[in-house]
């Protein structure tokens, strides 16, 4: 009995907070997504009340070209950016792990640096590096590169995300590389394998769990894309208020005051995140992150 | 080892290092320039440096609101990370070291929580907090940050591996209460996992933009991220803010980058626990 009480004591703080700030908002979001505001009286001026609206908000969300466009845009973004970043991080981790590398500590620290910079600040910083008239890259090449134009801005954002998180992912992969038993390399070398073959045939399969973990977190991160386009929106006319699903939900809620529709969009986004991350885990045949 | 391989590998590593460092180099250079020189001189080199005047302006603009933002950020991230680490440690420890009904359910709930996009929570949280009259207060930003499913996950795995049952039994035989055992013995043994959880939460809260953006309307309560994006977005009306944004970004970014370099081993240590056994 005494032990039961202490177990409850250990669990209670987390469970209470989890219920209040995770489960309750999710439940509330679902509830709000099922309600619509109905106007009464002549010309709808009599007042507004919340009534049950079934799946109306979801239908609206799915018929809204802006929201769907944003969803398609970040899916395209994810299909390109996530593999590029994970491949880059893997390459850096393998290079640093190889016997040929010098100054490993310096390089590792350098690659990890941007992780300490919040997405908003990274976007402000890169915003200047992209800005016509200020951009040192355009200056270097002697031509004005249109980083913020319609065609390029999505990939300019992808660059910010890659810059921020590649080093962090490299570190996760490095952690797993360090856990590999060095005698495995010894026996591979005895069998005549060179450094490239060891990296490809021995190391790569063994760091699979780290690659799965980083990919799942990257997928979830991609779907939530918000700060970067929100900041660059000030500099680029190519980014509108529905550029990503999170931007859509934000502007439905705080510009149009349509919380029902915003809630439906948030729920749809969370569902997409679940489907994609579990789908990916299923695809690679592993349970849990 | 062949010399050409060595040169190739080092060259590749150097190119990558340039990619990560150039923006930081540009920031340092740009922070020393006047607004005019920012547009009028080469971004790659110093030109009439006036770093201290710029920084003085950053700290004194609008009655020193920048200092307030620093204070707020330290408050949100410091207090939030400390409390959430303790909460996660207690829960992770209970999940690892006690057998009880519903244990797996709780753990699966935690795992599910890791995958919930945080931004999906911010909107309903705003609506709930504003009904309680608590939106636009310190609590609106602080309280939701106390929940860290990933922290619980890390702490459970670590406690499972690093806290021996015999030690707990010995403590119980000595007549120590469970809470006492946890606070005096267990927490110390879990120290590496606690540091990792703390750092994760600290960076997570300091990175968080959506939640404070949604919750706060009073600029005096803003964290740095929100404050600087406010300066950036109003710079077209008040050109001096461009320079202040750059100076403010430098001041906020440099200490964190230095901290990252010294603390990176904790990320590696903690993540091995998380990823290898996951």
Among partner residues A3, A22, A213, which is closest to B278 by beta-carbon distance? A213
Contacts of A126 (CB under 8 A, 6+ apart): A156, A159, A160, A163, B23
Q: DSSP state, A201? A: I
- The half-sphere exposure of B50 on its side-chain side, counting CA atoms within 13 A, is 14
Q: Which of residues 7-46 of A touch B (CB under 8 A)?
A: 7, 9-11, 13-15, 17-18, 20-22, 24-26, 28-29, 32
ipTM of the complex model? 0.89
Contacts of B111 in chain A (CB under 8 A): 288-289
The H or E element containing residue A52 is strand A47-52
Q: Which of residues 80-99 of B touch A (CB under 8 A)?
A: 86-88, 90-91, 93-95, 98
Instruction: Show the CA angle centred on residue B87, arms to residues B85 and B90, nearest 5°.
Output: 105
Number of residues that this document lists for chain B: 278
Considering only CA atoms, give the Rg of chain A. 24
Q: Cα separation of A247 and A149, whole Å? A: 19
Q: Find the Cα–Cα–Cα–Cα dihedral A133, A137, A141, A146, rounded to 10°.
A: -60
Contact A247, A70 (CB under 8 A): yes
Contacts of A158 (CB under 8 A, 6+ apart): A77, A80, A81, A84
Contacts of B102 (CB under 8 A, 6+ apart): none
Contacts of A6 in chain B (CB under 8 A): 177-179
Among partner residues B6, B120, B127, which is closest to A270 by beta-carbon distance? B120
3-class secondary structure, B243: helix
Q: Which of residues 219-248 of B touch A (CB under 8 A)?
A: 224-226, 228-229, 232-233, 236, 245-246
Tens-place pLDDT, residues B212-227: 999 999 999 999 999 9
Domain ranges (residues) in chain B: 59-276
Phi and psi dihedrals of A36, rounded to 5? -125, 160
Phi and psi dihedrals of B13, rounded to 5? -65, -35
Cα A168 to its chain centre, rounded Å, is: 13
Among partner residues A172, A254, A267, which is closest to B271 by beta-carbon distance? A172
Tens-place pLDDT, residues B232-255: 999 888 888 999 999 999 999 888
pLDDT in tens, chain A (289 residues): 678 889 999 999 999 999 999 999 999 999 999 998 877 766 666 667 788 888 999 999 999 899 999 999 999 999 999 999 999 999 999 999 988 888 888 899 899 989 888 999 999 999 999 998 889 998 888 888 899 999 999 999 999 999 999 999 999 899 889 888 888 888 998 999 888 899 999 999 999 989 998 999 899 999 999 999 999 999 999 999 999 999 999 999 989 988 999 999 999 998 998 899 889 988 887 544 4
Cα distances (angstroms) measured from residue B115 to each of A26, A206, A288? 13, 24, 10
3-class secondary structure, A40: strand
Q: Chain B closest CA to A199's CA: distance in Å?
A: 14
Q: Which of A8, A112, A121, A220 to mutate to test the interface with B (most CBs of B within 10 A)?
A: A121
Cα distances (angstroms) measured from residue A277 to each of A264, A288, B139, B153, B164? 20, 10, 32, 18, 34
Q: Which residues pair with A38 in a beta bridge?
A: A49
List, in order of start, the domains of chain A with CATH numbers.
Answer: 64-284 (1.10.3720.10)
Q: Which of residues 205-224 of A touch B (CB under 8 A)?
A: 209-210, 213, 216, 220, 223-224
* CATH of region B59-276: 1.10.3720.10
Phi and psi dihedrals of B238, rounded to 5? -135, 90
Contacts of A17 in chain B (CB under 8 A): 87, 143, 146-147
Residues B258-261: contacts with CB under 8 Å, at least 24 apart = B259/A116, B260/A109, B260/A112, B260/A113, B260/A115, B260/A116, B261/A109, B261/A112, B261/A113
Q: Which residue blocks in chain A are alpha helix, DSSP H?
A: 2-18, 24-33, 56-63, 65-97, 104-112, 119-130, 136-141, 153-178, 183-190, 195-197, 204-206, 208-223, 227-232, 245-254, 259-284
């Amino acid at each position: 009995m005494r032990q039961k009480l202490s177990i409850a004591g250990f669990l209670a703080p987390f469970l209470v907070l989890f219920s209040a700030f995770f489960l309750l908002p999710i439940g509330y979001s679902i509830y709000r997504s099922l309600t619509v505001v109905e106007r009464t009286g002549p010309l709808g001026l009599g007042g507004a009340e919340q009534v049950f609206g079934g799946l109306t908000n979801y239908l609206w969300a799915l018929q809204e070209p802006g929201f769907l466009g944003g969803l398609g845009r970040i899916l395209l973004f994810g299909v390109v950016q996530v593999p590029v970043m994970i491949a880059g991080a893997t390459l850096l981790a393998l290079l640093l792990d190889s016997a040929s590398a010098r100054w490993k500590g310096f390089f590792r620290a350098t690659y990890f640096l941007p992780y300490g910079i919040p997405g908003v600040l990274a976007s402000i910083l890169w915003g200047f590096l992209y800005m016509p008239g200020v951009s040192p890259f355009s200056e270097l090449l002697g031509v004005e590169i249109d980083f913020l134009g319609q065609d390029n801005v999505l990939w300019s954002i992808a660059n910010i995300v890659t810059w921020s998180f590649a080093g962090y992912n490299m570190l996760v992969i490095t952690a797993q590389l360090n856990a590999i038993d060095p005698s495995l390399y010894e026996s591979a070398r005895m069998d005549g394998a060179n450094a490239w073959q060891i990296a490809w045939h021995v190391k790569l399969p063994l760091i699979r769990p780290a690659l799965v973990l980083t990919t799942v977190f990257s997928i979830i991160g991609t779907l939530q894309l918000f700060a970067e386009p929100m900041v660059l929106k000030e500099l680029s006319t190519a980014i509108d208020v529905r550029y990503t699903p999170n931007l859509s939900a934000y502007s439905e809620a705080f510009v149009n005051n349509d919380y029902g529709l915003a809630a439906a969009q948030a729920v749809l986004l969370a569902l997409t995140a679940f489907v994609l991350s579990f789908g990916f885990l299923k695809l690679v045949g592993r349970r849990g992150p | 080892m062949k010399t050409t391989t060595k040169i190739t590998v080092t060259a590749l590593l150097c190119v990558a290092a340039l990619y990560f460092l150039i923006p930081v180099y540009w920031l340092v250079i740009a922070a020393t320039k006047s607004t005019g020189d920012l547009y009028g001189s080469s971004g790659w080199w110093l030109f009439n440096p006036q770093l201290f005047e710029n920084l003085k302006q950053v700290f004194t603009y609008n009655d020193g609101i920048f200092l307030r933002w620093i204070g707020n950020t330290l408050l949100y991230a410091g207090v939030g990370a400390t409390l959430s680490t303790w909460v996660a440690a207690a829960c992770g420890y209970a999940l690892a070291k006690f057998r009880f009904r519903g244990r797996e359910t709780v753990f699966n709930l935690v795992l599910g929580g890791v995958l919930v996009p945080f931004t999906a929570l911010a909107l309903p949280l705003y609506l709930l907090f504003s009904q309680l009259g608590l939106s636009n207060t310190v609590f609106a930003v602080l309280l939701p940050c106390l929940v860290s499913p990933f922290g619980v996950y890390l702490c459970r795995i670590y406690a499972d591996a690093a806290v021996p049952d015999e030690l707990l039994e010995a403590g119980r035989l000595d007549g120590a209460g469970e809470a006492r055992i946890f606070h005096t013995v267990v927490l110390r043994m879990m120290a590496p996992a606690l540091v990792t959880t703390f750092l994760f939460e600290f960076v997570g809260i300091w990175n968080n933009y959506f939640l404070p953006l949604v919750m706060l309307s009073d600029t005096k309560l803003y964290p740095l991220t929100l404050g600087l994006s406010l300066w950036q977005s109003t710079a077209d009306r008040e050109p001096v803010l461009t320079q202040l944004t750059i100076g403010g970004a430098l001041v906020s970014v440099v200490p964190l980058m230095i901290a990252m370099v010294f603390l990176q081993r904790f990320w590696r240590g903690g993540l091995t626990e998380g990823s290898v056994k996951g």
